[in-house]
Amino acid sequence: MLKRDCQDREIVVQYVDMNETTPKPDARATIKVCLEPSCCQRGAENVLRALKLGFAPEEALVMPASRCLSGCGMGPNIAVNDNIIRGVAPISVVEKVRSELDNPSCKADGIGSRSIDDLDSVLDDIDLLDSHDKA
Ligand code: FES
């Protein structure tokens, strides 16, 4: 907006609306459910339904994952704030996710809250991917 200053010069003025609040970052958890065929065959749609019933919209954003989360044979698989949790069941998934939210697993390695015993299968998956890449 143009305005005249004290010396009658034309100046550009920007007003800041003090009533306008800065948007807060979304504090909700993001829960993605794999709905690819392998996870669907293992009940992923019921997992999605249980999560939507178990979390209020202001608590968590529950949505289908945009892609397979890998480790398909261990599904249904979900991602809680990008941490992968494998082999969830509709009856216990809400409790499992709440536990993950209370005590988040490491994000850096992307293996989620899997036990150390499950890491062998992660390495097997990596080996399998490597062999496919070389073929
Ligand atoms: S089909 Fe669900 S993780 Fe691959």
CATH of the domain at 64: 3.40.30.10
Q: What residues are in contact with ligand 1 under a 6 Å CB criterion?
A: 34, 36, 38-39, 68-72, 75, 77
**Residue 68 included in any domain:** yes
Does residue 80 sit within a domain? Answer: yes
Report percent pLDDT > 70 for the chain: 62
Weakest mean pLDDT among 19-33, 79-93, 107-121: 107-121
Domain membership flag for residue 102: yes
Check: pTM over 0.75? Answer yes or no: no
Which of 67, 69, 74, 78 is the pocket-test mutation for ligand 1 (most atoms within 8 Å of CB)? 69
Is 60 exceeded by the pLDDT of residue 116?
no
Rg of the chain over all Cα atoms, to the nearest angstrom: 23
| Chain center to CA of 81 | 4
pLDDT digits (tens, 9 = 90+) for 63-82: 999 999 999 999 999 999 99
Flag whether 20 is in a domain: no
Q: Across residues 100-124, what is the average pLDDT?
A: 64
Place of tokens 């992307």: 110
